[in-house]
Structure 1
């Protein structure tokens, strides 16, 4: 990122802006800047049929588009606005840094454009972390809605922040999911309150190191005005709070699955309680909801609920709205989704568990498991995951390109656990995987799809993988009916 910054109030008229990347963020950014009088050039690495169609639409508006050349900085560029996934070491950004040209992401642009239509901009409650972001943001939005507030779950969750900020609908507050990529390119973002849910190695090829990844996550706390919410079970998140430069009076608020201390939210006798946003934190606790109000009540999902509750309470939401919002919340598909019970065995789809950290949380939710795992490892190692889960494993069924890495970890750390190694990567392998898992399972067990790997070796995405699992389970249920 260039060291120079454009001021908060920007006169866009005639400003030369380069937008890096066509797609869900690049096209809205190019349109918004063009509408404000900027001279926009879009650069894009790809030059396929879809890119040419998108380029034609933008060129019809008077926007310049360069396909097949995302590496060269156009002359006269005063600002680069990038899609979040573009890596910081791309030649385009190195050239921008050398020229003193700032680089913003779509989140930074949305932050700078909020309120430029004269409306009072809605505060942002921001959530980041290695796992659980989408669930927590959707829980938070549900709680805010239960409090009667005009809100939306936006950001990395699929709804463009630019659309939320520039659209006709007015909001009281936004629940914002932010990835480490987005935070990297958002130097001036200042949320009302923010949470880092957890930190585990992820996207290290993009960030270059765990320290750089953590630092980008920690940006979410910069300038917070009311609360920096951290995970008491993950000291790295609290370290980020300590390092953040926040507004005076902003408080560090922890969440824990145990009994909370002062300035924390936690769990006591099956009750979610608040010792942070009460009159007397030393002696007083406020009941918010019951653990059974959280769907599903797996430990890591209860942690998500506590983080969402903390952000909502920081915004002044009453306890009853926390309870009602959690009760109304329904998780997305393929996130610890109960598919069926067959012969007293539970079948659960957590295809979204695409890394070891998410899978560790998923495995911790059940006592006796037949685990279906495997796919693309993305450089991950599995020794720590297997060591922690070994006592819970009834058996393991392995699928996918990198299944040998998991099998080797099982041999080292859980040699007594039976393993079925399916030597196939076709989409039909999932039916066989479910059948073999059913053979290993006993009444009371859970057959759990929590792959700890990406899906693209066998499936288009984790949704398709989860659907294949669910279809295979339902077919089996129909046979046993």
Structure 2
């Protein structure tokens, strides 16, 4: 088993024992209040949402509405604990940097608290990051740890703040920590027992200022004792030389010594021997590949990454197999919502970038694509060019629908395209797009002003039904984020499922109401 990471000096928490400003009153921000207070800090929370601030005040924190005056007062604080969504160039954080005030993310605070032994001996951290597959891999890892009778929690970007996992009862010793690029950026001190980078594709480029910044943030997951990298992904594999510890790769094909992979119908480990120590390249079977959920190449890669992290933690091959067999796919990750008259309706709302949408669309021979939202600076042309031959139609929603329509015009001009917009945007989005070629059968459906996001999705589902024929899959794989219209990708997926169900109940042919 790997050595426990070094415990830092208690002075690492010195700024957290004074006046602390928490930037962001969401779930991660609220989770920091009690631990900071326990350290002796006077906590002030700032946010633009009065209701969220009221919830923080009920926990005993001072609150202040985030406006132009807050950055001017930054010198009053010894530390800013920021929500991961705050960009480094926001006025508040720029002011903190200029004044020499430390800025930590909630994960950085969690790491320092854990290493200092505030809640008992430090835990074991197994970190998962990547552009896609983070939540599935983290869930698989948690299932494997459970099968090995390890007291464990899945936390971080998966929903449970790390601080809440540290204070949970009964105590957990192993943390399966999903971390986004934002969280990694604001957590420079984290040195996990083992960390994995699954894959890297264009995403959040607007936040990071470009691809180099995004890649650098992801690479921080490889700063611990064992670095797990996806060898089938060029960008992830290129990070191996930057790893601090032993590198273990995983691939879909036959693994070489020091790797995990697939041979026939078996997951195979050639990196670790019995007891979690590094082996000599001998083949160890980790269970059947055919039983992995979600099925398909993406699910297999996630399973291999989870297995590598678990094996680095000393988990037996039998426990890996049992944990993967027990794993169930989470919501909005390729769920079949309905199957009616030969048409299958699939919710893959978690496909929030082109890289994630690719396997969702390529999994079917004939597809009506429901896509659109916030592309976050990512290019969609390569995706459209690859999936274009499979498309029976595309229904597009959201702020970047025009960019996806233009890509379809360039690379799949024969595909029928329908853009569904609210009337508030109609004056902009109804204008002819010069990139849309005349031979493309495209049109825009304009809904009344201030139409809700759920009703826009319902209209999109009706348009998709009109394009679908028996043998077609209607796939919600937006290739974009959801926050331009919806509360979350979960809300978007729920709206899709509700619209499909309502259409079935109203009329199996999904005619207009």
Residues 1:467 and 2:494 are matched in the alignment: yes
Residue 339 of structure 1 and its aligned partner are, at CA, apart by 1.6
**Within-5 A mapping of 1:36-51:** 36-38=39-41, 40-46=42-48, 48-51=49-52
Residue 230 of structure 1 and its aligned partner are, at CA, apart by 0.6
The 1:299–1:367 alpha-carbon spacing in structure 2 relative to 1, beyond 3 Å, is farther
C-alpha distance in 2, partners of 1:35/1:54? Answer: 18
Residue 342 of structure 1 and its aligned partner are, at CA, apart by 1.8
SS of 2:75 mapped into structure 1: coil
Find the counterpart in structure 1 of residue 344 from structure 2: 346
Which range moves more in the overlay, 94-103 or 126-135? 94-103
The answer (yes or no) to whether the contact 2:19–2:76 under 8 Å persists in 1 is yes
Find the counterpart in structure 2 of residue 193 from structure 1: 194
Find the counterpart in structure 1 of residue 379 from structure 2: 381
Residue 429 of structure 1 and its aligned partner are, at CA, apart by 4.0
Residue 11 of structure 1 and its aligned partner are, at CA, apart by 5.1
SS of 1:407 mapped into structure 2: helix
**Within-5 A mapping of 1:291-330:** 291-330=289-328
The 1:98–1:362 alpha-carbon spacing in structure 2 relative to 1, beyond 3 Å, is same
C-alpha distance in 1, partners of 2:58/2:406? Answer: 51
Find the counterpart in structure 2 of residue 125 from structure 1: 126
C-alpha distance in 1, partners of 2:461/2:45? Answer: 46
Find the counterpart in structure 1 of residue 5 from structure 2: none
The answer (yes or no) to whether the contact 1:218–1:241 under 8 Å persists in 2 is no
Residue 118 of structure 1 and its aligned partner are, at CA, apart by 6.1
Which range moves more in the overlay, 16-25 or 383-392? 16-25
Of 394, 402, 405, the residue aligned with 2:403 is: 405
The answer (yes or no) to whether the contact 1:299–1:364 under 8 Å persists in 2 is no
Find the counterpart in structure 1 of residue 251 from structure 2: 256
Residue 271 of structure 1 and its aligned partner are, at CA, apart by 2.0
Residue 439 of structure 1 and its aligned partner are, at CA, apart by 4.2
Residue 283 of structure 1 and its aligned partner are, at CA, apart by 5.8
Find the counterpart in structure 1 of residue 227 from structure 2: 228
Please give the per-residue CA displacement for 1:351-376, whole angstroms capped at 9, x wherever unaligned: 12122111113223223222122233
C-alpha distance in 2, partners of 1:52/1:24? Answer: 12
Of 432, 439, 444, the residue aligned with 2:471 is: 444
Please give the per-residue CA displacement for 1:158-200, whole angstroms capped at 9, x wherever unaligned: 1111111133431121100111111111121110000011112
The answer (yes or no) to whether the contact 1:19–1:80 under 8 Å persists in 2 is yes
Of 33, 38, 41, the residue aligned with 2:36 is: 33
Please give the per-residue CA displacement for 1:74-96, whole angstroms capped at 9, x wherever unaligned: 43533322222221123333333
Residues 1:142 and 2:143 are matched in the alignment: yes
The 1:148–1:409 alpha-carbon spacing in structure 2 relative to 1, beyond 3 Å, is same
Residues 1:18 and 2:21 are matched in the alignment: yes
C-alpha distance in 1, partners of 2:416/2:306? Answer: 39
Residue 337 of structure 1 and its aligned partner are, at CA, apart by 0.6
The 1:79–1:464 alpha-carbon spacing in structure 2 relative to 1, beyond 3 Å, is closer
Please give the per-residue CA displacement for 1:306-355, whole angstroms capped at 9, x wherever unaligned: 11111111111112222221222122211111122222332211112122
Please give the per-residue CA displacement for 1:36-79, whole angstroms capped at 9, x wherever unaligned: 222x2425142x53145235325xx4x54333344234435333
Please give the per-residue CA displacement for 1:360-414, whole angstroms capped at 9, x wherever unaligned: 1322322322212223333443211101112222332333443222222112111
**Within-5 A mapping of 1:418-437:** 418-422=416-420, 423-424=445-446, 426=451, 427-437=454-464
Which range moves more in the overlay, 200-209 or 428-437? 428-437
- Which runs of 5 or more residues in structure 2 are unaligned? 1-7, 421-444
C-alpha distance in 1, partners of 2:301/2:355? Answer: 14
Which range moves more in the overlay, 277-286 or 334-343? 277-286
Residue 33 of structure 1 and its aligned partner are, at CA, apart by 1.7
Find the counterpart in structure 1 of residue 288 from structure 2: 290
The 1:8–1:186 alpha-carbon spacing in structure 2 relative to 1, beyond 3 Å, is farther
The answer (yes or no) to whether the contact 1:84–1:181 under 8 Å persists in 2 is yes
SS of 1:66 mapped into structure 2: strand
C-alpha distance in 2, partners of 1:477/1:144? Answer: 41
The 1:460–1:108 alpha-carbon spacing in structure 2 relative to 1, beyond 3 Å, is closer
- Which runs of 5 or more residues in structure 1 are unaligned? none
The answer (yes or no) to whether the contact 2:392–2:468 under 8 Å persists in 1 is yes
The 1:474–1:43 alpha-carbon spacing in structure 2 relative to 1, beyond 3 Å, is closer
C-alpha distance in 1, partners of 2:53/2:174? Answer: 37
The 1:270–1:345 alpha-carbon spacing in structure 2 relative to 1, beyond 3 Å, is farther
Of 344, 352, 355, the residue aligned with 2:353 is: 355
Find the counterpart in structure 1 of residue 442 from structure 2: none
Residue 128 of structure 1 and its aligned partner are, at CA, apart by 0.9
Find the counterpart in structure 2 of residue 238 from structure 1: 237
SS of 2:170 mapped into structure 1: coil
Of 368, 371, 385, the residue aligned with 1:370 is: 368
